[in-house]
Amino acid sequence: MKFALGIVGALMVANFSLATMCPHPVDLVFLLDSSESFRTSGFEEAKTFVQNVVNYFTLGEDDTRVGVVTYSNIDAQVTRIKLNDNYTRVELLTGIRNIPYDRGHTFTGLGLDHVRNYSFLEENGRRSNTLDFLILLTDDEPEDSVSGPAQSVRDMGITVFAVGVGEESDISQATLETIAGDPSRVFRLTDHDFLVDDSHPRIIREAICDATQCPALTAPDNGALSTTATSYQTVVTFTCNTGYVLNGAVTATCTADITWTNPVPTCTPIQCPILTAPANGALSTTVTSYQTVVNFTCNTGYVLNGTTNTTCQADGTWDNPVPTCTPANLCEPHPCDNNATCRLLGSTFECSCDVGLVGDGFNCSVVQCHVLTAPVNGALSPTGRRQYQDVVTFTCNPGYSLVGTASLTCLLNGTWSASPPTCNRKAPIPLCGALTAL
Ligand SMILES: *[C@@H]1O[C@H](CO)[C@@H](O)[C@H](O)[C@H]1NC(C)=O
Ligand SMILES: *[C@@H]1O[C@H](CO)[C@@H](O)[C@H](O)[C@H]1NC(C)=O
Ligand SMILES: *[C@@H]1O[C@H](CO)[C@@H](O)[C@H](O)[C@H]1NC(C)=O
Ligand SMILES: *[C@@H]1O[C@H](CO)[C@@H](O)[C@H](O)[C@H]1NC(C)=O
Ligand SMILES: *[C@@H]1O[C@H](CO)[C@@H](O)[C@H](O)[C@H]1NC(C)=O
Ligand SMILES: *[C@@H]1O[C@H](CO)[C@@H](O)[C@H](O)[C@H]1NC(C)=O
Ligand SMILES: *[C@@H]1O[C@H](CO)[C@@H](O)[C@H](O)[C@H]1NC(C)=O
Ligand SMILES: *[C@@H]1O[C@H](CO)[C@@H](O)[C@H](O)[C@H]1NC(C)=O
């Protein structure tokens, strides 16, 4: 329990210090004008100002490191404190207070050159993973050119702030902007007293601290980010739109070296399972990404059983199953003659005429036998019958007798069941008595 309370206490202290101190480590070098114009008291105030700014940062070898350079005459650029000289607050504040005042001229360009030549070297304490800041403090127009030296310093990746003490006639806005490279990093303190009051150093030190921003992030295509904030320790959460999956890290955090811990992820469409065409059919596309519509078709002679299309849904499933292609029932609608029967033969069909009918299946007509005619000396009944199953009966005139089959039936194969009969004259009754009489 005691242990737990201790942790709570530590967290509260940490929160408190975040609110009142710059929360991230930087490499901070001050370039102090030590020329005649400051005068002894002004230079003491300038050192108080440096202390005021430094106090806003968490100091230490692994936290913010501070260096101080003074400049005045053509031969007087002096590194007073290197970035890796004094790490603790007491050492630094003492070291700053002990910096002597030079007097002399204002060769600001040479001061900037010195910073470039010495202060931001790795051997002199510059770190590669922290932001570098140079804060120039001056109260007089330079006696040499500053634009080239300042540009060179900025080209090293160092963010330059220019603090001008005095009026425009003492140090011009144009000069300060030339040094800082950006008006937003120029500060003017019209009175030396402003170096030591409460508010002015605070505005400047907060501006230095706020300059630690990671690059702006843009939302991934088909996705979004939780915040556009870019300040140190910001945690950005990435999301993808419905139907898209996130490839990469879900969050990125702005670190002390003003880079994000992770790149912006990509959002790629959800993929549904690969589809195979139905047997005896085809599909319109093999694309399987979210919202793809796949159409199905069946080969000729087959009919589609199921739905004709399917769509890849946001959950990675298809909304309809692949249909089947079943052989088309070619006998429907009935393609044959009314009096014929349709029969499937694989992918084709056949029409066969019903019993008693002949034809090609598309035109069936009744089986007909050849026309029968009455025999000589005889007759047939009924007349004109010749269709399948018709029965025709022959008779002979008186005096004639029928030889053959009396009734013929028209058979299925179009022939009569027998040959037609004939009528033969009956033999005369022998007149035996008469002949004897003769
Ligand atoms: C600052 O560092 C220098 C060189 O490392 C050392 O000589 C000096 O004593 C330090 N200053 C303080 C106040 O500790
Ligand atoms: C800076 O270094 C250059 C050579 O790299 C030298 O010419 C110049 O005098 C140096 N300036 C200062 C102020 O140290
Ligand atoms: C799928 O069918 C629809 C009509 O139903 C058509 O507009 C679309 O172009 C087809 N898609 C493909 C990939 O053939
Ligand atoms: C269509 O498919 C369903 C099941 O998938 C099946 O029950 C049905 O008999 C099929 N219909 C035809 C005409 O093949
Ligand atoms: C899918 O097919 C149905 C009919 O089966 C049709 O109404 C719908 O428009 C089709 N969808 C697409 C995207 O082609
Ligand atoms: C053929 O079929 C039609 C109707 O199905 C029927 O009226 C007709 O009598 C039939 N013809 C024969 C010769 O069977
Ligand atoms: C059907 O066959 C009969 C005799 O074979 C013929 O007279 C008739 O013209 C045919 N009808 C058609 C539509 O082919
Ligand atoms: C017709 O059918 C009958 C009885 O089945 C048979 O005896 C006769 O030989 C057949 N005729 C022909 C020409 O096929």
Indicate whether residue 77 lines ligand 2 (CB < 6 A). Answer: yes
In this structure, which ligand is nearest to the CA of 74? 2
Q: Which two tokens stand for residue 300?
A: 């000729």
**Of all protein residues, whose CA lies closest to atom 5 belonging to ligand 2?**
117
Supply φ then ψ for residue 293, to 5 degrees: -105, 125
Q: In this structure, which residue's CA is closest to atom 3 in ligand 3?
A: 295
Q: Where are the domains of the chain?
A: 2-211, 223-269, 281-327, 368-425
Q: How far is the CA of 357 from the centre of ligand 6 (A)?
A: 10
Q: Report d(CA 421, CA 141) in Å as an integer.
A: 150
Would you say residue 438 has pLDDT above 50?
Answer: no
CB of residue 319 inside a 6 A radius of ligand 5 = no
pLDDT at residue number 328: 83
| CB distance 190 to ligand 3 below 6 Å | no
> What proportion of the chain, given as a percentage, has pLDDT over 70?
93
pLDDT at 190: 93
Q: Is the pLDDT of residue 8 over 80?
A: no
Q: Is 363 in the pocket of ligand 7 (CB under 6 A)?
A: yes
44 CA → ligand 1 middle, Å: 20
Q: Does 285 sit in the ligand 3 pocket, CB within 6 Å?
A: yes
Average confidence (pLDDT) over 25-41: 94
Residue 186 has pLDDT above 60, yes or no: yes
Q: Report how far ligand 3's centroid is from the alpha carbon of 241 (Å).
A: 25
Q: How far apart are CA 94 and CA 88, in angstroms?
A: 10
How is residue 146 annotated by DSSP?
-
Provide the terminal-to-terminal Cα distance of the chain, rounded to the nearest Å. Answer: 170
Cα 80 to averaged position of ligand 1 atoms, centre (Å): 10
Indicate which residue's Cα is closest to atom 1 of ligand 3: 295
Please report which confidence band the pLDDT of residue 169 belongs to, taking 50, 70 and 90 as the band edges.
Answer: very high
Task: Please report which ligand is nearest the Cα atom of 353.
Answer: 6
Using alpha carbons, select from 309, 313, 244, 249 the residue that is nearest to residue 278: 309
Residue 40 identity (one-letter amino acid): T
Q: Has residue 191 got a pLDDT over 60?
A: yes
How many residues does the structure list for the chain?
Answer: 438
Span 178-202, average pLDDT:
93
Domains 223-269 and 368-425 agree in fold: yes
Topology annotation, domain 368-425: Complement Module; domain 1 (2.10.70)
Q: How far is CA 109 from CA 43, 188, 219, 255, 384, in A?
A: 19, 19, 43, 33, 136
Taking domain 223-269, whether its CATH number is 2.10.70.10 is answered by yes
Atom number in ligand 5 closest to CA 311: 13
Which residue is listed with tokens 């992770």?
Answer: 262
pLDDT classification of 7: cutoffs 50, 70, 90: very low
Instruction: Assess whether the C-beta atom of 339 lies below 6 angstroms from ligand 6.
Output: yes
Centre of ligand 7 to C-alpha 362, Å, is 9
Residue 13 pLDDT greater than 90, yes or no: no
Question: Nearest bound ligand to CA 304?
Answer: 4
Rounded distance between C-alpha atoms, residue 47 and residue 337, angstroms: 115
CATH architecture label of 281-327: Ribbon (2.10)
pLDDT at res. 433: 53
Q: Sorting pLDDT into bands at 50, 70 and 90, what band is 428?
A: confident
pLDDT of residue 430: 62
Q: What is the pLDDT of residue 151?
A: 96
pLDDT tens across 208-224, in order?
A: 888 878 889 999 999 99
Q: Residue 168 — pLDDT band, cuts 50, 70, 90?
A: very high
Judge whether residue 226 has pLDDT over 80: yes
Strand partners, 59: 64
- Quick: pLDDT tens for 292-319: 999 999 998 889 999 999 999 999 999 9
Cα 413 to ligand 8 centre (Å): 6
What is the Å distance from ligand 4's center to 341 Cα? 25
Residue 404 pLDDT > 90: yes
Model confidence at 126, pLDDT cuts 50, 70, 90, reads very high
The pLDDT of residue 79:
97
Distance CA 321, CA 192 (A): 82
For residue 349, the cross-strand partners are: 344
> What is the domain class of 2-211 according to CATH?
alpha beta
Amino acid at 153: V
Q: DSSP states of 36-67 as a string? A: GGGHHHHHHHHHHHHHHHHTTB-BSTTSBEEE
